[in-house]
A and B are shown apart, each in its own frame.
Chain A
Amino acid sequence: MLEQTLSIQPLKAKDFASDQDVRWCPGCGDYSILKALQKALAESGARRESTVVVSGIGCSSRLPYYLSTFGFHTIHGRAPAVATGIKIANPALDVWVVTGDGDCLSIGGNHALHALRRNINLNILLFNNEIYGLTKGQYSPTSAVGTRSSTSPKGSSEQPVKPCSFALGAGAGFIARSEATDQKRLPEILQRAKEHEGAAFVEILQNCIIFNDQAFDRFTASSVAADRQLFVRHGEPMLFGKAANMGVRMNQSTLKLEAFDLNDGVAGEKDVLLHDENNKFLAMLLMEMSYEVGFPMVFGVLYCNRDARYELDRHLTKEPDWQGLEQLFKGKSSWQV
């Protein structure tokens, strides 16, 4: 008997690029996310034939064209629903959802909510640029109060949705935040999301250079980033600042987090909190921290609940009594279970 050994060569990031011309505006943060995703897929040993990237509508949602994996550019806000169907039909596939702040939190808020709540094993990447880019600059559900746009000429007055807090409230088991241009840590976060069994949600802050340029500069500009960003890792102390001299501690009487200088004598290194990504209460506090309220902006894996297993396949193990669509239409309106 002839035995053949099939050798599978490891793929490089470039192998995940398609032959399509990438059409985002020059300088767009989406290029950076595309590159990070290609790196993450290569480094995690993903296979093109077992990877599907599903998108909705918006600038972000052009991404599947630029990957050599399977892709599906679906309808506005419904990518999580289509991705859910793909995952149910073939649980062996690695399914990614690419969406934006409009697609995911405006028209698609409902679908995102339920994909997270059901804990479907999807990796949902939310490209958050706090503006509607594809439709030329209307304010979005995540736009900061005061954002001037064609639909808010006097500045928006609505409170923005906080995507990570939304995901936590919906029941996501894995929630992370990254900056689009962080080519060192974003691929690592994307790999973690891929490994997580269950719904993984990654908010990626992405600069729209045309309609909302410098929206995140107050904490991403290289001159201030070290002092205004905290990157958390499980089990490591929450330290930030150019000299790692700033820490985050819990005020025991107010149950609020506080940022403090280790050199000011009020509190020491022993008071600095260690990040525990399994702690939902801590995750909630971290997600609410922002530069505006005297804290650094927090990046990294904010929450990871390994106990929240992906249970959907449990409900699908029974062979359904399926006799075809025709029979279903012509059949009775009641069933015996």
Chain B
Amino acid sequence: MTFVVVEECIKCKHTECVEVCPVDCFHEGPNFLVIDPDECIDCGICEPECPVDAIYSEDDLPERQHKFIALNEELSAVWPVITEKKPAPDDADQWQGIPGKLQYLER
């Protein structure tokens, strides 16, 4: 099992989660965060920290978000680790809850 960052994070990228992770398993891309499934210890502390509910346990992942399991694994291998909180994008609130954001994912 691992925790997975899903579509809600795209273009919102709040970073409260990265500060609480005890094993520094978050990786940062241009407009999205991912969790390294090999590093995640399944402790669950990040899940309630996310203000846009973008973190799920792999076991509770909604069907439509299943593709994010592979995406987290793939992108965590290439993106750098992020351990310190930083300001969210200026327009983060405008993008909150907007469906179909996967098309805007920057790699």
Contact = CB atoms under 8 A, between A and B. Distances in A.
Contacts of B47: 26
A282 interface: no
Interface string A8-52: 000000000100001010111101101100000000000000000
Contacts of A26: 43-45, 47-48
Interface residues of A, number: 16
A31 B83 contact: no
Contacts of A28: 43
Interface in A50-98: none
B53 interface: no
Contacts, number: 36
Q: How large is the interface on B (under 10, 10 to 19, 20 to 34, 35 or more residues)?
A: 10 to 19
Contacts of A31: 41-43
Given A27-B45, A183-B39, A222-B83, A32 B24 contact: no
Contact of B43 (A17, A27, A222): A27
Interface string B17-52: 000101110000000000000010111110110000
B1 A181 contact: no
A7 B83 CA distance: 44
A274 interface: no
B1 A183 contact: no
Contacts of A22: 42
Nearest to A207: B22
Contacts of A207: 22
Given A17-B1, A222-B83, A32 B45 contact: no
Nearest to B81: A222
A177 B45 CA distance: 25
Contacts of B41: 31-32, 34-35, 181, 183
A27 B20 CA distance: 8
Which of B41, B42, B45 has the most CB atoms of chain A within a 10 A radius of its CB? B41
Nearest to B48: A26
Which of A17, A27, A28 has the most CB atoms of chain B within a 10 A radius of its CB? A27
Contact of B23 (A17, A24, A34, A181): A181
Contacts of A273: none
A71 to B, nearest CB: 19
A22 B41 CA distance: 11
A31 B20 CA distance: 14
Given A17-B1, A222-B83, A183 B43 contact: no
A209 interface: yes
Contacts of A32: 22-23, 41, 43
A218 B48 CA distance: 27
Nearest 3 pairs of A and B residues by beta carbon: A27-B45, A31-B43, A26-B45
Given A32-B41, A181-B23, A222-B83, 15 more contacts: A17-B1, A26-B43, A26-B44, A27-B20, A27-B22, A27-B43, A27-B44, A29-B22, A31-B43, A32-B22, A32-B23, A34-B41, A183-B23, A183-B39, A183-B41
